[in-house]
Structure 1
Amino acid sequence: MQIFILISHILFLLALGFYLITALQWFSYKFQRIVFHFTKPLWHLWFLILPIVLYFGISTFSSFGFFIFFYVIYLPALFLWHKKLDKKLVFTSRVKRFFVIFLFAAIFIDILMIQKAQILPIFLPLFLAFIISFGYEKYQAMLFKKSAQKKLENNPNLTIIQITASYGKTSIKNFLFQVLKDDFICYKTPRSVNTLNGLIKDINENLEPNTQIYIAEAGARLAGDIDEITQFLRPQIVVVGEIGAQHIEYFKTIENIRATKLEALNSTRLKMAFLHSSTQKEKSKNVEIYDLNLSNVCASLEGTTFDMKFDKIYSFKAPILGDFNAWNLAVCVCVARYLELSFEKIQKQISKIKSVEHRLEKIEAGGKLIIDDSFNGNFSGMSKSYELARSYQGRKVIITPGIVESTQEENEKLAKIINDIFDLVMVTSDLNAATFEKIIDKNKLIMIKDKSKMTEILAKETKVGDLVLFSNDAPNFI
């Protein structure tokens, strides 16, 4: 019986650890974020708090009784929960190390305590595992950071362009790379890598020693995050894009967001900064407000055109959707000019620029026009994409969770625009469900409770000739 209790207890600890490390991985291993900013608190209740309470409650009378609950109810429920996640736990080296440390801590403590207590300890193995694991990862991060710094220092001719914004920074990064890549040996951070640890890993593993321009994206959840990245990269060129209410739940005010983004100007090697007017900074010797000379923006389902004034007015045409992309491209024009590319070359590069994956990406399939804008998650970009869809003559369908990590007011404004433009509205998250149900016409609203059935629902509800817009995407832990 003792062997059964020992093995079962270790499995129970591993199950709790599995839930915790999964949640932590979603939120960059920040405990304060899964405590104060977790949008599914009932998951914490069902998979962490309640099992622990029941363990102490039932095991007081019968350890065997609790483990009946564990094997019959908790373990199958945890398995089904993870199976339905669209962002499952990735078994990185860090996660594997955590489980090895956790397993040894659990076995060691349980063997010591098996003869001394009816109820085996839970918090001590968890505490030890996280302390040892996080301590080791911090030490490793320090070594990796030194290695990355040395790699940057060994390339004195490297120009670093750091890009930050409330939204649009990934698009700016990708567009700028496409504009510069034929004239320089360029490298950009992959996907949406924008944290300090992500940048350190990317530099160590992927940055070639002959690179001339490194385009790095910098993101933030807390004050000081951008400054930390800036002190590490020490960029010569900084881009601060549009400032808005994205991640307002972390920063509390727009002023805090603006101040954090402008930490990018703290670079000790700063030569030139290109800022959006929403930063509320004024033009100076090494600061340019890039959207002030932008005009005549026009967007359709065929592409985007805009003018920019320098010594004279220059016109640009890009085969990408969304008038907001004119602002993203405008700063690329300014940076390219600063790097001495001719206007003719910039116009040519922009004329063949490719859309960023999942950002107003146009696809034609099965007689339907599909616009994948699932990586666009802010009010400004989303609402403008809806105006773009308005011009379509056929039936218009939208699939969206609304805006994540923003205000209820912005979601209410968004819902009103959606209700005005779209013929069928599918909501994929319960985060903003109440807002949508209050504003959207009930006759055209579909609430999707299980995203795994999305394909089946789309096949049933859409038809040839429809425009189908995927607007933002929220993993089901949000």
Structure 2
Amino acid sequence: MDGLNLLAEGFSWILGRIIFIGALIPFFMYLVEKLKKSIHIFQLNQYGFLRYFKWLKRNFKEVFLTFELVLLLFIRTFYVRDFSEIFYLCLILIFGVYLFLFKTWKKTFEKKPLVYTPKIKRLITTISLLIIVAIFLSIRFGDDLTFFLTIISISYLSYLIVILGTIINLPLEKSINFYYINDAKRKIRSLMRLEVVGITGSYGKTSTKNFLNEILLTKYNSLATPRSINTKLGLTITIRKELSALHDIFIAEMGAYKPGEIKELTRFVKPKYGILTKIGPAHLEYFGSIKNIQKTKFELIEALPEDGI
């Protein structure tokens, strides 16, 4: 009988481990998607802490009143060590349904797909290391309950983990950006015959830029910033990778989320020509008022040289 009991206990333990792993697979798939979404939101907000936190505030229910919170309470309340197989089977069902719902959820917030830039790859690496350390500690010093609470907490706090990873990477990112921006400045200043056109506005910047570029290409060798890239780092990448001495004209789309940002971009690329498109309440939540939007957009015109147009 002792042998049979031992065999039964061994079989039960193996079955429990199999179900344990089975419960993890759909959840880790979900966790990856959740972290991708969190990083994507951060990228869409131009890697700005203030803009990101404002987005979190506007989407408080979606971010913090989530299924993970219910799951944390469920596991903490109903975890029964003696019936772990049943418990894990419930988790498989819960995680599977949740993964399905998440995968089929329409991401209406997406204006642009997640771009895996070197900065994003570095952020993903840092976040991955943080998660590995957290999981290792939960396994090393805790039990199954601690482990599950840890990974669900990671999912629940994914939006804040992105901030933590960014803060850790901040010294490195600042040094990299400083080098790239100054390198781009040197390059664009060295192109003496290059004419720069700046385009800004609330609506129609990208379309206007593309139309203008097509027209200019019939006579000149012009280069426009790709897609809807309109930030300082976006301009930096375009200048360093694509702009050359063969170009006659550089068309720079300029975006902003607060007063002073267009002025900063004009100091960077020094446009001789400026185009203002329609001004309206786009990003009003960041500017605070239409007046601030107008003032910011007109920073382009104010920065033009005396012989500028």
Supply the RMSD in Å over aligned alpha carbons: 3.6
Aligned to 1:26: 44
Code of the residue aligned with 1:53 in structure 2: it is: L
Distance 1:263 1:49, change over 3 A: same
Q: Which amino acid aligns with 1:105?
A: L
Query: Given the superposition, is the C-alpha separation of residues 45 and 67 from structure 1 closer, same or farther in structure 2, using an over 3 Å criterion?
Result: farther
Q: Is the 8 A contact 1:155 1:209 kept in 2?
A: yes
Matched letter for residue 288 of structure 2:
K
Within-5 A mapping of 1:61-140: 61=77, 62=79, 67-68=91-92, 71-81=95-105, 89-90=113-114, 92-93=116-117, 94-117=119-142, 118=146, 119-120=149-150, 122=154, 123=157, 128-133=164-169, 136-140=172-176
Q: CA deviation at 1:254?
A: 2.2
Alignment of structure 1 residues 307-346 onto 2, 5 Å? none
The structure-2 alpha-carbon separation of the partners of 1:85 and 1:171, relative to structure 1 and needing over 3 Å to count, comes to closer
Alignment TM-score, normalising by the size of structure 2: 0.71
Of stretches 206-215 and 115-124 in structure 1, the one that deviates more from structure 2 is 115-124
Counterparts in 2 of 1:271 and 1:186: CA distance versus 1, 3 Å: farther
Aligned positions, number: 271
Give the SS at the match of 2:255: coil
User: Using a 3 Å threshold, how does the CA distance of structure 1 residues 138 and 80 change in structure 2: closer, same or farther?
Assistant: farther
SS at match of 1:28: coil
Distance 2:169 2:103 in 1: 24
When residues 134 and 52 of structure 1 are mapped into structure 2, their CA distance, relative to the original with a 3 A threshold, is farther
Q: Name the CA distance, whole Å, in 1 between partners of 2:282 and 2:109.
A: 24
Q: SS where residue 203 of structure 2 aligns?
A: coil
**Equivalent position SS for 1:60:** helix
**What residue identity is the alignment partner of 1:204?**
R
Distance in 1 (CA, whole Å) between partners of 2:247 and 2:161 is 46
Please give the per-residue CA displacement for 1:305-337, whole angstroms capped at 9, x wherever unaligned: xxxxxxxxxxxxxxxxxxxxxxxxxxxxxxxxx
Match of 1:224 among 257, 260, 263: 260
Match status 1:270 vs 2:269: no
Question: Is the counterpart of residue 177 in structure 1 residue 213 in structure 2?
Answer: yes
Q: Deviations over 1:243-274 (max 9, x none)?
A: 3334333323221111101222454x723444
Cα 1:79–1:12, aligned 2, differ >3 Å: closer, same or farther?
Answer: closer
Cα distance in structure 2, aligned partners of 1:83 and 1:166: 23
Distance in 1 of aligned mates of 2:242 and 2:177? 17
Q: What's 1:51 paired with?
A: 67
Counting helix residues as a fraction of each chain, which structure ranks higher?
Answer: 2
Secondary structure of 2:251's match?
strand
Counterpart pick for 1:14 among 28, 32, 45: 32
Q: Indicate if the aligned counterparts of 2:197 and 2:273 stay in contact, CA closer than 8 A.
A: yes
- Equivalent in the alignment of 1:211: 247
- Equivalent-residue separation in structure 1 for 2:161 and 2:91 (angstroms): 18
Match of 1:245 in 2: 281
CA distance in 1, matches of 2:62, 2:96: 15
- Asked if structure 1 preserves the Cα contact closer than 8 Å seen for 2:56 and 2:63, the reply is no
Map residues 413-452 of structure 1 onto 2, 5 A cutoff.
none
Per the TM alignment, residue 38 of structure 1 is displaced from its structure 2 partner at its CA by: 7.2
Cα shift readout 1:450-471 (whole Å, capped 9, x = no counterpart):
xxxxxxxxxxxxxxxxxxxxxx
**Aligned partners of 1:18 and 1:67: how far apart in 2?**
23
The alpha-carbon distance between structure 1 residues 45 and 136, as it changes in their structure 2 partners (threshold 3 A), is farther
In structure 2, the CA distance between the partners of 1:91 and 1:155, relative to structure 1 (3 Å rule), is closer
Offset, 1:69 = 6.0
Q: Secondary structure at the match of 1:163?
A: strand
C-alpha distance in 1 between matches for 2:200 and 2:161: 40
CA, structure 1 residues 128+243, in 2 after alignment: closer, same or farther (shift >3 Å)?
closer
The answer as to whether partners of 1:98 and 1:129 remain within 8 angstroms in 2 is yes
User: Which one scores higher on RCO, CA 8 angstroms, separation ≥ 6?
Assistant: 2
Task: Assess if the C-alpha contact under 8 Å between 1:161 and 1:213 holds in 2.
Answer: yes
Amino acid at match of 1:220: A
Q: What is the rounded CA distance, in whole Å, between the counterparts of 1:128 and 1:169 in structure 2?
A: 34
Among 191, 195, 203, the residue aligned to 2:227: 191
Q: Using the TM superposition, give the Cα deviation of residue 91 of structure 1 relative to its aligned residue in structure 2, in angstroms.
A: 5.1
Matched position secondary structure for 1:271? coil
Q: State the Cα distance separating 1:237 from its structure 2 match.
A: 2.6
TM-score normalised according to structure 1 size: 0.48
Identity in percent: 28
Verify the 8 A CA contact 1:19 1:47 in the aligned structure 2: no
Q: 1:111: Cα distance to partner?
A: 0.8
